[in-house]
Amino acid sequence: MMRLYSGTTCPYSHRCRIVLFEKGMDFDVIDVDMMSRAEDIAVINPYNKVPVLVERDLVLYEANIINEYIDERFPHPQLMPPDPVMRARARLFLHRFEHELYGHIEAIELGAVKSADKARTVIRDNLTQIAHILTKQKFLLGDEFSMLDVAIAPLLWRLEFYGIRMGKDAVPLMKYAERLFSRQGFIDALTPSERAMRK
């Protein structure tokens, strides 16, 4: 049985929960209080961060690594493209999301007003650039839901919570966000704290 140590408001943990629910697998989610991180997290992850996936003697951390492992171990429905070229492109996108989007969240959560406002602008501008892709296709990689959609969904869910206001040119992105939020896997993956983030 897989165990996922997950922060109840952590966007990275949220990603892993989405993948587990999309796969319809048997697993346990162990909620970790982010403010007083359980000491057992430090024992299993040297960075003392969630998410952490434990399966028998395998311990994984970092959301993208966890999600790719789950996707390879349980290939239906497949979330990473089967083609090596497309898979490499998907990984590049995921890498960009880490730097251009998620890399600025800490400044919003912990930073001073000035750095938080700057981070909001950077995230908004980078998301707006993605919006044009969604005028032509249903999901980020085409017509099939993929790991890219998993990766961006927790951030889109938190836009209002983070005080990020999108402009008119982001309408295709917001329609896409609603498509993601209506998926059963996404709904099931939400914690009560995450549900409370949106009115």
* pLDDT tens-place string over residues 142-153: 999 999 999 999
* Of the listed ranges 33-47, 51-65, 86-100, the one predicted with least confidence: 33-47
Contacts of 119 (CB under 8 A, 6+ apart): 104, 105, 107, 108, 111
Residue in this structure with the two tokens 């704290």, named with its chain if needed? 193
At the second CATH level, the architecture of 2-77+189-195 is 3-Layer(aba) Sandwich (3.40)
Is residue 42 very low, low, confident or very high in pLDDT (cuts 50, 70, 90)?
confident
Chain mean pLDDT for the chain: 94
What does pTM read for this prediction?
0.95
Q: Is the pLDDT reported for residue 175 higher than 70?
A: yes
- Encode pLDDT of 4-26 as tens digits: 999 999 999 999 999 999 999 89
What's the mean pLDDT in 143-171? 97
**Per-residue confidence (pLDDT) for residue 43, from 0 to 100:** 79
Is 199 exposed, middle or buried (CB count within 10 Å of its CB: 0-12, 13-18, 19+)? exposed
The dotted CATH code for 84-183 is: 1.20.1050.10
What mean pLDDT comes out for the span 101-114? 93
> What is the model's pLDDT at position 46?
80
Whether 2-77+189-195 shares its CATH topology with 84-183 is answered: no
Q: Which residue has the higher pLDDT, 164 or 112?
A: 164
Domain boundaries, the chain: 2-77+189-195, 84-183
Checking if the pLDDT of 38 tops 70, the result is: no
